[in-house]
Structure formats: C-alpha cells, structure tokens
C-alpha cells in the first residue's frame, strides 16, 4: 500500500511569525477547558500554560474560547460557489477564493472539498464541471490565495457506468485525500420512497412523469447491474493508494457489513439508527451533517443527528451544505437533549475527523501540533468566530 503524499506537496506554505502568545483564553483541551495561555511559534503550538501571561505583546483573548481549528471532511461549498445558479459556471479560481473565505470565516482550517463524480443525468454536477473546479483550486493554492488547508473528497456515484475510470483519472492527484461510495438510486439508502423522489425530480427539472420514470428505472437498473462491483473496485483502488474512504447513506446493517468488509473507515450520513449502531459495532465512525443537527431533522426525512447524539452514538460532524453550521453544531451538542461537555463536542469537528483522515498533526490543542486555532465568543447563545490561525498564521 502506498502512503498518501504529505501536505507539503499540495499546499503552498506561508511564513508564520516567530512567536505569538495568546492569553486570557478558555483553552478547549481534549479532556477539559483550562483558563490559560497558549504560545505558538513556527506554525506549531509550543506550550500551554495555566493562568494569564503578562509578557509584553501577549494577545488578550478576553476570556473567549480557544479551539483547535475545525476539520471538515465533507462540504459541498466549492461546487455551490462554482455553480451559484443552475446553468451558471463562475470563474473557478474566484470560486475557490470565495469558498475559502467562507470556510476560514467559519473556523474551519482544514477542509475536504467534496466533488461529485458520476452524478446521475439531470443533476447539477456534470462531468465537465469537475476539472475546472480542481484546476481553479490548484491555481489558488499554488499562488497562496487561500487561508485554509484544502484537500479533495471524491464522491463516487457507483451507478455511473464509467465511475471507476473517472475516479482513477483523479485518484493520483496529490490533492485527493478522501473518497466516498454513493448509490442514489431511489428505493433504498437516502431515498427509500420512490414516489417522493419522482415528485422532487419532476419539480426540480420541470419533467413529465414518463421522463422521471425512465430516469428512475435507469438508476435502479444500474445499481442492480453493476453497483456492487463498482463498490468493490473503487474500494480496492482507494486501499491501494492508502486513501481512507466512507460509505454514504447506509440504511441497513447489511450495507454496513459490506462497507466494513471493503475497508471503509466511516459510515457517512447513515439513514437509520440500525445502520449507525451496526457501523459503530464494526469499528466504523459515524459521520452526520451539522445542518441536520441544527435543524433537528434530516432534510430528506431520514435519521436525525440529534437522535444519535443524545444516545452518544455520533462520532463526527461535517458542514455538509452550510459551512457555518459546523461550529454552531459543536456548541449545540452541549445543550439539551445531548448535554455533551465542550471538549467532547469539539472533538467531533476536530480530533475525530483528523484521526479518520489520517492527519496526526492537528485536531487538538497540544504542544508540537499545528497551530490551527479558532477564537470563539458566545454571544446571545451563538458561537461567533473572532480570530482564526492556520499553521500559526492569522487568516481571519
């Protein structure tokens, strides 16, 4: 198994100040919240101290929380900035910059930009859109235009007849660090109600019923004919490259068993509690969307993230389709009915996703780790980002 390339191959680095002292903070450590001081130097956390520093030049955080930078394994934000409206493609470099500004301003310092490969005919992300988005992101990275660290998460639709070749065309790009296996054929997984899927398709694309029925029949036939084989082949391609991957929208213990046998590390957005429980029993981490947790329900009528969190069965949060939701969801976990400690809640958006992605150098406030930091103030019950540091450099 080949190891994945390190961050230095994909991102242009910036020179950080020699030493910065942040004091008067509530440091959110892995197991406690400590009022104290953090010293960073050369892009890393040098030391943590209880109490206030009186050194000249120390930055007073005024009793705000200081968190590790958030790590987002799944966000559709780049696609939305590249195509702000259906049929409108924006300049890909400008789209990457705009997306990154939103990401950094949300307290996310490491992001896995999710791009859809093999989208079903009619849906928004067409094959010809992927290459410009990747090229735009790379250009922005190479010229130091971005604030956060960006990787790519390739979402592979197994119902597409050429999905294996499409993925392998991108798989050796150093930016590609995560993959997920998806099957959006109606009648199972994300959309169990075929009639509801038909109505949504007809509404969104102004299609008549025969057109919608042909679309549905093609997806179901493709899923049954080669979906399982594509899962096996894509999983093997990821394993050969040392690339972690997720199974998307698992609905049953059987789905989870298949994913575990293939080597998946995550159950991404399981649609039932039975699937979520089976995932944890088999050692897969359970990832849910922060918008789901904030809204108290899935937008597609599936499992509510709050249901899992209240039972302690949630491991990782992602921003999914609203970058700012990730920080908000972290603090929501500390409220009823979940009642988590803040360190445990922060881990769902920092330490746990770092471990799932194989990033051992970040995700916690500990000496020697990257100085990816977020200063947060809670105002009228809402967490507000005040400052952000990425690799020791202030970026927001």
In terms of DSSP H, where are the helices of the chain? 77-82, 92-105, 127-142, 163-171, 194-205, 209-222, 228-240, 253-262, 273-281, 290-295, 305-310, 325-332, 342-347, 351-356
Could you read off the pLDDT of 100-127 as tens digits, one per residue? Answer: 999 999 999 999 999 999 876 655 556 7
Phi, then psi, of 26 in degrees rounded to 5: -100, 100
Task: Specify the number of domains making up the chain.
Answer: 1
Could you read off the pLDDT of 289-302 as tens digits, one per residue? Answer: 999 999 988 766 68
Could you read off the pLDDT of 303-327 as tens digits, one per residue? Answer: 999 999 999 999 999 999 999 999 9
Closest to 192 (Cα-Cα) out of 281, 258, 275? 275
Residue 58 lies in a domain: no
pLDDT at 124 (0 to 100): 53
Residue 157 lies in a domain: yes
**CATH classification at residue 230:** 3.20.20.140
Burial class (CB in 10 A: 0-12, 13-18, 19+), 63: exposed
* Distance from C-alpha of 198 to C-alpha of 354, rounded to nearest angstrom: 38
* Distance from C-alpha of 300 to C-alpha of 363, rounded to nearest angstrom: 30
Residue 383 lies in a domain: no
Domain extent at residue 300: 69-361
* Distance from C-alpha of 198 to C-alpha of 330, rounded to nearest angstrom: 35
pLDDT at 121 (0 to 100): 60
Centroid of chain to Cα 359: 14
pTM value is 0.91
Q: Is the pLDDT of residue 11 over 70?
A: no
């Amino acid at each position: 198994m080949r190891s994945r390339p390190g961050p230095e191959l994909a991102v242009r680095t910036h020179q950080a100040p020699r030493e910065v002292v942040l004091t008067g903070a509530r440091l959110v450590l892995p197991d406690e919240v400590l009022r104290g001081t953090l010293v960073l130097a050369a892009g890393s956390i040098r030391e943590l101290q209880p109490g206030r520093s009186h050194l000249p030049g120390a930055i007073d955080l005024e009793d705000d929380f200081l968190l590790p930078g958030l790590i987002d394994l799944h966000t559709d934000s780049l696609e939305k900035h590249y195509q702000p409206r259906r049929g409108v493609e924006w300049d890909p470099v400008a789209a990457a910059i705009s997306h990154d500004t939103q990401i950094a301003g949300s307290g996310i310092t490491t992001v896995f930009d999710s791009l859809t490969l093999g989208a079903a005919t009619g849906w928004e992300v067409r094959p010809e859109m992927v290459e410009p988005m990747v090229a735009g992101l790379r250009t922005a990275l190479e010229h130091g235009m971005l604030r956060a660290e960006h990787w790519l998460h390739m979402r592979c639709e197994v119902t597409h007849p050429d999905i294996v070749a499409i993925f392998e065309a991108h798989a050796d790009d150093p930016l590609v660090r995560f993959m997920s296996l998806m099957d959006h054929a109606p009648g199972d997984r994300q959309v169990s109600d075929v009639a509801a899927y038909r109505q949504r398709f007809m509404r969104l694309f102004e299609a008549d019923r025969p057109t919608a029925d042909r679309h549905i029949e093609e997806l179901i036939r493709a899923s049954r004919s080669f979906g399982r084989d594509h899962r096996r082949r894509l999983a093997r391609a990821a394993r050969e490259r040392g690339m972690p991957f997720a199974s998307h929208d698992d609905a049953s213990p059987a789905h989870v068993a298949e994913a575990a046998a293939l080597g998946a590390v995550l159950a991404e957005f399981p649609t039932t509690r039975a699937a979520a429980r089976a995932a944890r029993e088999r050692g897969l981490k359970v990832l849910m969307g922060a918008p789901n947790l904030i809204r108290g329900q899935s937008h597609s009528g599936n499992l509510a993230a709050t249901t899992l969190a209240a039972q302690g069965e949630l491991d990782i949060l992602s921003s999914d389709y609203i970058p700012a939701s990730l920080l908000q969801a972290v603090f929501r976990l500390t409220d009823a009915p979940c009642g988590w400690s803040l360190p445990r809640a922060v881990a769902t958006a920092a330490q746990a996703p770092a471990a799932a992605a194989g990033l051992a150098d970040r995700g916690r406030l500990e000496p020697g780790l990257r100085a990816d930091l977020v200063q947060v103030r809670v105002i009228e019950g809402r967490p507000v980002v005040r400052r952000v540091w990425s690799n020791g450099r202030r970026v927001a």
